[in-house]
Amino acid sequence: MDTFLDPKTQLLVALGAAAAAKCQHCFATLYGAADKVGASDQEIGAAVAIANKVSAKSQDFMAAFIDQTTRGAIKTTSPDGAASPCGCG
């Protein structure tokens, strides 16, 4: 990874991911390193704005999925107790 993205870009991506994940601890820790890589508050704001757009869109997709599932348009998993493909159930 280090050979593809410079440290500032890596930090901006990580800050955006922390914002999207809603992890205050990660964001605060990463923000503390921003000056070391030359990331400005404007750049951080832009990264967070992108993350927020992605996060909001995923919320919209999930709401639509829930609506379709509860209306029977999406096949639910079998009741045989098989684990979900994402590992959460």
Split at pLDDT 50, 70, 90, the class of 4 is very high
Higher pLDDT, 56 or 1: 56
DSSP 7-60: HHHHHHHHHHHHHHHT-HHHHHHHHTTHHHHT--HHHHHHHHHHHHHHHHHHHH
What single letter denotes the amino acid at residue 3?
T
Residues in the chain: 89
Domain 7-70 class, CATH top level = mainly alpha
Greatest distance between any 2 Cα atoms in the chain: 53
For residue 3, what pLDDT is reported? 81
Split at pLDDT 50, 70, 90, the class of 83 is low
For residue range 21-74, what is the model confidence (pLDDT) as tens digits? 999 999 999 999 999 999 999 999 999 999 999 999 988 999 999 999 999 888
Each domain of the chain, given as residue ranges in start order, spans 7-70
pTM of the model: 0.73
For residue 74, what pLDDT is reported? 83
